[in-house]
Structure 1
Amino acid sequence: MRIHPLAVDGLTALVPTTVACLLGAEAGGQGWPRLGVLAWTLVALTNLPLALRGRAPVAVLLLVHLCWLGYVTLGYWPVVNSPAAMVALYTVAATRPTRTTAVCAVLLGGVWIYAGVVSGSDTMASVVGQAIGYPLVLWRFGHLARRSAELTVRLRAEQAERARREVAEERVRIARELHDVVAHHIAVINVQAGLARFVFDSDAPTARTALTTIGTASGEALAELRRMLGLLRADGGDGAEEGVAATEPAPGLDRLEEMVERVRAGGVPVELRVRGEPRPLPSGVQLCVYRVVQEALTNVLKHAPGAAAAVELVYRAGGIRVSVTDDGRSRGGPRHEEGHGAEHSAGSGEPGRERGRGVDQDRMPKPKGHGLIGMRERAKLYGGTIAVGPRREGGFGVHLTLPTSEQAARRGDAVTE
């Protein structure tokens, strides 16, 4: 339970007030005049205002010193109200700028020396030393408290900003994952639906096969979406379906053949080649490879159906290289790579005005570039590099290189779906 600051100040004011009452009761025994009604009134006026020190520290300090000054002038024991004056100075030092604190410290030291002079002290050297030392010590401690409070506020602001950044990054990651998951399967479904509609009356077996592929692709898309939602709800969901979804593994290299078969069913001949000695890779690296290949084949499927494509995985010492290429010989209409066109335009400085492979890009929809951005972000996330662009022999190519060292493995395992 959080205590209200005014209550804290009230409790704090009780400490010097109690000390003042105890010292005031002992004043007679110390050779000073016993406190009468006026003296006790000044003691109360000196100490009780500390309950408001948090709201008006400078005003409280001035009131405390004014009452203390009157108390000392009447010839009473100055030590009785000195704790209240020191608490008031500490409060100013902890909440106000250095210049204001310096003036208040001089005020405390001046009243302290005045009390020594009025009381006729035989140890003025000690009084002057106290008048200088106590304000400096209080000033220092108050300054440290103020700096600590400022750093705490700054730290909380940085934490809030970091939290906002993490939320924004998480939204981007989720959007990228949804794009990768949905775009591929929807492209397959779209092509197969067109095929089924075209041969529905003339070739029932082909139409049936296309519908089967549509059902498989839609089921896989739904399963991946459920897995993603399960991961997002893993902390708060307790349903059985959510629990199953959250434990399903992220797609990896073992599912590349399955994805290639799905693209082949969509009318794109794809060849999958693996070179080098296959070995276990971090789940994050596998997910990165899978998503990049998925995005590249989706572009071929959507924008160049019928073009021959090739996926090549090369296992190297300390890394893996992935290439997805196509020959650009589309039999399904004009070719337009999502993201690839953006790469090409950015290099020329005239977006949308080059003519590639005899296709007038001015008539084609402008690329949003989400696929290319997603590929680059994934490669950067795992310390890799990616190159996307037209090939000299025709078609387009996507070339991804990822490190698989221990450091990269730790990063890959830490950042997965």
Structure 2
Amino acid sequence: MRLRVWPADRLRSVDPRLADAALALGLTGAAAVAGRQYHPAGWPPFDATAYALTALVGLPLAARRRAPVFALVASCLGFACYLAAGYQPSLNFWGPAVALYGVAARRPPRTAAACAALCAAVVFYSGLTAPEIGLTVTVVQALGVPAVVWTFGSGARTLDERNRQLAELTARLHREQEWRERQAVSEEQRRIARELHDVVAHHMSVINVQAGMAGYVFPSAPEKARAALGTISETSREALRELRRILTLLRSAADGEDAEGGGAPYAPIPGLAGLRDVAERVRAAGVAVDLRTDGAPRPLPPGVELCAYRVVQEALTNVIKHARHAAVTVLVSYRPHELFVTITDDGREGGYGRPDPANVVPGPGHGLIGMRERARLYGGTVDAGPRTEGGFRVRLTLPVAAGPPPSARPAPGPQNRPSA
């Protein structure tokens, strides 16, 4: 057996104006029927005038939402005229009470208090027209009925205000959530753009230089051309490995997988130990790179090492693009609470290895922007600009945790000497 359930939403979907009109007609009809059927001795008969005055009491309730004060005043005046004509109160007593509820639910307390006083006066007058009720009951009725109606109406107004505030708060939270989602998407897009830029720009710059050199020396120095092709092959494999690592991270994040949960294992994240390979590739492109270390090397957070690695990689890529024959010094300085990485070149240009303008993408570069964004993620800074004595310098500063105590550190080796 199926039970039909009428949801409350179906009632809420009814037009409030139709509901008020139905209430006004229903109360007017009930009062007319009760006045016609219930006729105690001593009261005048319920005639056409009584019907008209009953309509003046009940029908204004149709406007109790749109004009609650008007509905109350009209209903009270109609009830007062009805009582002054000598008719029994009957159900017309409820007209002013229902109108007062509408005022208390939709108007400020000061307006509701004045309307409650008017309603109390009319109710008190209705008690005086029926001496058999007694003065005490009349007073209690005149004070109690408006007070109870006002209390319920004021509670409804407070609840409506809270619901409106909650709706506004919900809408605000929804807007903030959408904004945070857009920010997260934008940040992820920037992060992916930085990774792709660093990988593609560096490796493709090396490949471009080596390809140009191989084509230039192929007729006269086949061995050098063959070495250049070997560098191209190795560099392209390294680029593919890094691109595969990035794609694996993106695919695993999209599928909700991780390396321990059955997803594809991640390739190692590049770090400071990989600077030797970067230096070798750049040297093969014709740039003299001197890689130095100052201070005792120690393990650093993977994100910090990746940031330093990418900044060095991008700085060397810029040297390949803009100062092919420059001599570059990369100095990695370990300090107790900071890591300094300085890339300096002497600014010499020229040579056969210049990139072909047809292979250079027009428009402003994003290298320095990406460097600063990376450093900012880890609380660091990047200072880049030309040197007074010539050339260019990029300096990265990253805050790091203090290293292990001296007893736990490896024996220090010669400082300020090339490590690669």
Q: Same fold (TM over 0.5)?
A: yes
CA distance in structure 2 between the aligned counterparts of 1:331 and 1:266, rounded to whole angstroms: 13
What TM-score does the superposition give when structure 1 sets the normalisation length?
Answer: 0.66
Counterpart for residue 7 of structure 1? 10
Residue 117 in structure 1 maps to residue 136 in structure 2:
no
- 1: distance between equivalents of 2:321 and 2:191? 23
> Once the two structures are aligned, what percentage of the paired residues are identical?
43
Instruction: Name the CA shift for 1:286/1:105 in 2 (closer, same or farther; >3 Å).
Output: farther
Q: Is 2:401 the counterpart of 1:405? A: yes
Segments of 5+ residues of structure 1 without an aligned counterpart are 50-55, 93-99, 337-363, 407-417
Aligned twin of 1:361: none
Q: 2:162 aligns with which of 135, 144, 162?
A: 144
Task: Give 5+ residue unaligned stretches, structure 2.
Answer: 1-5, 40-50, 83-88, 128-137, 403-420
Q: How far does residue 226 in structure 1 lie from its aligned partner after superposition?
A: 2.4
Which amino acid letter does the alignment assign opposite residue 269 of structure 1?
Answer: A
Cα separation, partners in 2 of 1:269 and 1:374, compared to 1, 3 Å: same
**Residues 101, 139 of structure 1: 8 Å contact kept:** no
Aligned counterparts of 1:379 and 1:194: Cα–Cα separation in 2:
33
1:107-186 matches, within 5 Å, as 109=116, 113=120, 116-117=123-124, 120=127, 121-123=138-140, 124-130=142-148, 132-186=150-204
- What is the alpha-carbon distance in structure 1 between the residues aligned to residue 332 and residue 221 of structure 2? 37
Q: Letter of the 2:91 partner, please give it.
A: Y
Question: In the TM superposition, what is the alpha-carbon distance from 1:66 to its structure 2 partner?
Answer: 10
Q: Which residue of 1 aligns with 2:339?
A: 320
RMSD after superposition? 4.6
Task: Indicate which of 248, 251, 255 corresponds to 2:270.
Answer: 251
| 2:392 corresponds to which of 392, 396, 401 | 396
Aligned to 2:131: none
Larger radius of gyration: 2
**Equivalent pair of 2:96/2:119 in contact (CA under 8 Å):** no
Partner amino acid, structure 1, of 2:303? G
Cα deviations by residue, 1:174-233 (Å, 9 ceiling, x for unpaired): 222221111000100001101111222333332222112112212222222222222222
2:307 pairs with 1:300: no
Match of 2:296 in 1: 277
Q: Distance in 1 between matches of 2:393 and 2:7?
A: 65
Residues 368-414 of structure 1: per-residue CA shift (max 9 Å, x gap):
141111111122221112211112332111011110138xxxxxxxx
Could you say which residue in structure 2 is the equivalent of 1:261?
280
Aligned AA (1:138):
A
Counterpart Cα distance in 2 of 1:142 and 1:259: 67
What residue number does 2:371 align with? 375
User: How far 1:245 sits from its partner (Å)?
Assistant: 5.9
Residue pair 1:196, 1:210 contacting (<8 A) in 2 also = yes
Residues 169 and 239 (structure 1), Cα distance of their counterparts in 2 relative to 1, 3 Å cut: closer
Taking structure 1 as reference, are residues 383 and 236 closer, same or farther at Cα in structure 2, changes over 3 Å only? closer
Task: Select the residue among 85, 91, 115 that pairs with 1:76.
Answer: 91
> How far off is 1:129 after superposition?
3.6
CA distance, structure 2, for counterparts of residue 386 and residue 194 of structure 1 = 32
**Quick one: distance in 1 between partners of 2:318 and 2:8?**
62
Structure 1 residues 101-132: Cα deviation after superposition (integer angstroms, max 9, x where no partner): 66985697468536733652331333454355
Partner of 2:133: none
1-structure distance, mates of 2:65, 2:111: 8
CA distance in 1, matches of 2:64, 2:197: 58
Residues 234-279 of structure 1, C-alpha deviations (whole Å, 9 max, x = no match)? 24449999x7666223321121111111111111111111111111
Distance 1:206 1:381 in 2: 42
Aligned-partner Cα distance in 2 for 1:109–1:249: 78
Q: Aligned to 2:213, which of 195, 200, 216?
A: 195
Instruction: Name the aligned partner's letter for residue 7 of structure 1.
Output: R
- TM-score norm. by structure 2 comes to 0.66
Residue number in structure 1 paired with 2:309: 290
Amino acid at match of 1:175: A
Say whether the 8 Å CA contact 1:195–1:210 is kept in structure 2.
yes
Q: Cα distance, 1:323 vs. partner?
A: 0.4
> Partners in 2 of 1:9 and 1:88 — Cα distance?
21
